[in-house]
Amino acid sequence: MRRPAKNPPPTGRRSNKPRPAVAARAPAAKPYHHGDLRRVLIEAAMQLVGEGGPEAVSVREAARRAGVSPGAPFRHFPSRDALMNAVAEEAQRRFRAEIEMALADAPSGDPLGRFRCLGIAYLRWAMKNPTHFEIISSRRFFDHDRSAGVSSDNAELIGLTERMLAEAFSAGQLRIQDLKQVQIAGRALVYGFARMHIDGHLPRWGVAEAEVEQMAADIVDLFIAGIAGPAAKV
Amino acid sequence: MRRPAKNPPPTGRRSNKPRPAVAARAPAAKPYHHGDLRRVLIEAAMQLVGEGGPEAVSVREAARRAGVSPGAPFRHFPSRDALMNAVAEEAQRRFRAEIEMALADAPSGDPLGRFRCLGIAYLRWAMKNPTHFEIISSRRFFDHDRSAGVSSDNAELIGLTERMLAEAFSAGQLRIQDLKQVQIAGRALVYGFARMHIDGHLPRWGVAEAEVEQMAADIVDLFIAGIAGPAAKV
DNA sequence: TGTGAATGTAAGCGGCGATTACACGGCTTG
DNA sequence: CAAGCCGTGTAATCGCCGCTTACATTCACA
């Protein structure tokens, strides 16, 4: 948790004649007001998360990177947790975009195929953005239920899997009766693999970094094969 | 992360005639030396983990509960991380004991049954000790590879699953060829479910607290059924 | 043009991990 | 049995943290 002593050069204080435009514009002088500090703080925090994980985020460091005083962020976020919340919402936005993009390409006539596609896309994003995935997954870093956006996104995703499985069952693609069990098991599978990646378990289990993506696809396929019925062509 | 201001009563300093026994024994007076501070610190930290998760552990609070000064713990642990390491090793010891006990009851003639039994025991312990499970699972709280004990325990468990699956395959209990995929998928499944529990996802996915244990068993069975071959009676 | 709201700075509180100098006392050794 | 070493405690201190308060500056609008 120790800060690495960034040693920021004390940039000159007082400005002479800042431009009245919204965004910072003066070349050498710094305007008193930042322009869009809130946005910049979130981006700085996102970057910190990417560099050292969720706990590497400190309000002071974000302020440092934004070039403002340690107290400034508290004008925009009442607490560190609130900042983390904003970061989580941004991460969730990107995650959702990835999922939607992947599903847009999947044929609607094959629900089980779409289910598989969802699993693959889920894992692909989690593999590529482990620290951001961790933020939106693990309580501790922000309170899921405190953010309406994240919560509703999540509920939507849950409902989506439910519908997919129901359709797959209707189409005779499943041989398992209890759809809820399938849903939970599938979710546990992909979440577990993503978590193993984040938590650094995969090397210990003999999965090298280069094989990770292939293995992710393989276990999703293995799971699908395990639940697929005679009508599915897996 | 804020401490809740424990307000410890300032117990009298100087002792008169402390007993020369190893453990503290004087009724009202406190000996200068603690007796077994290391042990007590680990226990205090374990308790803190149980109360508020891994990040609720602070060296100062552990010292407070042990009734010593804030600097005392550093005689036994060079850093907070070292304390967490000791806590993790204790947790790992208990985890391993649970697994071994469960496997002792499983018939050796049914490798796939033993595999299932392992999964159930794994989940049972994780459900009952979520915060301790989190410590030994998530990097961030201690470095797995820094502890020879935890590392070897883990390697042993991994080897165990490997052997079980190989035996099950030889016995014709599996219909899947790629045993490594089965191993990773199985581990991802149980780890994912345990993580969903720890991270508070289960209620959102429609699994109430009372159903958790049953659902854990159900998804293990579902997975086993998915990989079981014609020779297995699942 | 004047003024209040928004948004920045400066200073400071208490808690934290960690280090250092010093105090105590059990144990070995002569 | 006495001496003193060394393991283990305390006290004080450092710098970083989240967060609060008082004050300064600037924008936007009447």
A154: domain CATH number is: 1.10.357.10
pLDDT of the residue at B1: 41
DSSP state, residue B140 = T
Domain endpoint, select from B77, B110, B125: B77
Domain total in chain B: 2
Residues B1 and B96 in one domain: no
Q: Are residues B115 and B41 in the same domain?
A: no
**Number of CB atoms found within 10 A of residue B178's CB:** 12
Are A54 and A101 part of one and the same domain? no
The length of chain B is: 234
* A124 and A198 together in one domain: yes
Q: Nearest residue to D20 (CA, C1')?
A: A71
* Residues of B in Cβ contact (< 8 Å) with A232: none
Indicate whether A151 and A195 sit together in one domain.
yes
Last residue of a domain, one of B36, B57, B77: B77
Query: Which residue of A lies nearest to B201 if distances are taken between CA atoms?
Result: A137
What is the share, in percent, of chain B residues with pLDDT greater than 70? Answer: 84
pLDDT at A64: 97
Q: Give the CA B2 to C1' C14 distance in Å.
A: 10
pLDDT band at B16 (very low <50, low <70, confident <90, very high): very low
Do residues A126 and A72 share a domain?
no
A138, A158, A188 ranked by CB distance to B189: nearest: A188
CB contacts of A206 in chain B (<8 Å) are 158, 180
Q: What is the pLDDT of residue A35?
A: 79
Does B116 share its domain with B10? no
Assess whether pLDDT exceeds 70 at residue B176: yes
Residue A33 covered by a domain: yes
Q: Same structural domain for residues A100 and A172?
A: yes
Report yes or no: A106 and A173 within 8 Å, Cβ to Cβ. no
Angle between helices A59-66 and A37-52 (to 10 degrees): 120
* Higher per-residue confidence, B229 vs A114: A114
Beta bridge partners of B228: B174
Q: Do A154 and B204 touch (CB under 8 A)?
A: yes
Q: Are residues A49 and A140 in the same domain?
A: no
* Nearest CA distance, B227 vs chain A (angstrom): 6
Cα–Cα dist B1/B6, whole Å? 14
Indicate left, alpha or beta for A32 from its phi (over 0: left) and psi (-120 to 50: alpha).
alpha
- Strand D: which bases are under 7 Å from protein Cβ? 7-13, 15-22, 25-28
Q: Which two tokens stand for residue A57?
A: 């985020």
What residues are paired with B174 via a beta bridge?
B228
- Residue A122 within any structural domain of the chain: yes
Nucleotide nearest to A32 (CA to C1'): C8
pLDDT for res B31: 67
Domain shared by A214 and A131, yes or no: yes
Higher pLDDT, A45 or B28: A45
Quick check: is B214 in a domain? yes
d(CA B234, CA B226): 10
Cβ neighbours of residue B14 under 8 Å, at least 6 residues apart?
A: B29
CA dist list (Å): A214 to A210, A221, B181: 8, 11, 10
Low pLDDT (below 50) residues in chain A: 1-28, 233-234
pLDDT at B2 over 60: no
**Residue A201 structure tokens:** 């378990």
A156 at B interface, C-beta within 8 A: no
**Could you give the C-alpha distances from A206 to A139, B133, B193, in angstroms and in order?**
29, 22, 21
List strand residue ranges (DSSP E) for chain A, in order.
none
Closest-CA residue to B127 (of B42, B211, B57): B211
In a domain, A16, yes or no: no
Q: pLDDT digit string (tens) for B37-59?
A: 999 999 999 999 999 999 999 99
What's B93-137 look like in SS3?
HHHHHHHHHHHHCCCCCCHHHHHHHHHHHHHHHHHHCHHHHHHHH
Boundaries of domain holding A193: 89-227
Q: Is residue A1 part of a domain?
A: no
The answer to whether residue A83 sits within a structural domain is: no
Q: Indicate whether B64 and B109 sit together in one domain.
A: no
- In DSSP notation, A113-170 reads HHHHHHHHHHHHHHHH-HHHHHHHH-TTTS-GGG-HHHHHHHHHHHHHHHHHHHHHHH
State the nearest Cα–Cα gap between A55 and chain B, in angstroms.
9
Chain B environment of A190 (Cβ under 8 Å): 188, 192
pLDDT tens track for A170-218:
999 999 999 999 999 999 999 999 999 999 999 999 999 999 999 999 9
Whether the Cβ atoms of residue A157 and residue A121 lie closer than 8 Å to each other: no
Closest CA to A228 of B180, B175, B161, B117: B175
Q: Closest to B219 (Cβ–Cβ): which among A53, A184, A200? A: A184
The interface residues of chain A toward chain B in range 118-137, judged by CB-CB distance below 8 A, are: 137
CA–CA distances in Å: residue B181 to residues A23, A125, A194, B119, B212: 53, 21, 15, 16, 26
Q: Which amino acid is at A20?
A: P
Domain's final residue, options B27, B58, B77: B77
Q: Are residues B71 and B137 in the same domain?
A: no
Strand C: positions under 7 A of a protein C-beta atom:
7-12, 15-21, 24-27
Indicate whether B165 belongs to any domain.
Answer: yes
Q: What is the pLDDT of residue A34?
A: 74
Domain assignment present for residue B234? The answer is no
Residue B121 has pLDDT above 90, yes or no: yes
Residues lining strand C at under 7 Å (Cβ) are A 1, 13, 32-35, 37, 63, 67-72, 75-76; B 1-3, 5, 14-15, 18, 20, 22, 31-33, 57-61, 70-71, 74, 78-81
Residues B68-103 have pLDDT tens digits of: 999 999 999 999 999 999 999 999 999 999 999 999
pLDDT at residue B5, as a whole number: 31
